[in-house]
Amino acid sequence: MVEPVGQGILRLLFVKEDAAHGIADFLDLLELAAAGDPPIDRRKEEMLVREMIGEPNAEAKNISRSQKLLLQTMMAPSAAFILELDGGSVDEIIVDSERLAFERGWHPALIRRQPA
């Protein structure tokens, strides 16, 4: 579920701005959060973002599954913070991501609704 949620949030972040400039700024923030020690090469990080936002011909190669998961779990909450998403917006993205996961043939655990 991390992958489709991250894709949804990153698409919201980069859909309206110049992606090349926005991605660079975003990766600068991630590097600051990682205390200046990014988990993988900057070019690989950028390609992963481009793949996640659906750029044509963008394919994150030579990134291990564990590195992808680490980056996705750093990117999604960071992008949500930048976008100032509220809980309802995040829940909506998660529900849309669950639907997408089922369409892909995955079987994720579903979000649990909190009583009002």
Q: Residue 42: its pLDDT value, please?
A: 84
Ranges of residues in the chain whose predicted pLDDT is under 70 = 1, 16-21, 36, 38-39, 108-116
Q: Residue 70: its pLDDT value, please?
A: 85
CB 97 within 8 A of CB 44: no
Residue 32's nearest CA partner among 60, 84, 2, 74 is 74
Q: Residue 116: its pLDDT value, please?
A: 55
| Count of Cβ atoms closer than 10 Å to residue 80 Cβ | 21
Q: What is the pTM assigned to this prediction?
A: 0.76
Q: Residue 109: its pLDDT value, please?
A: 67
Q: Residue 36: its pLDDT value, please?
A: 65
Residue 94's nearest CA partner among 11, 8, 13, 10 is 8
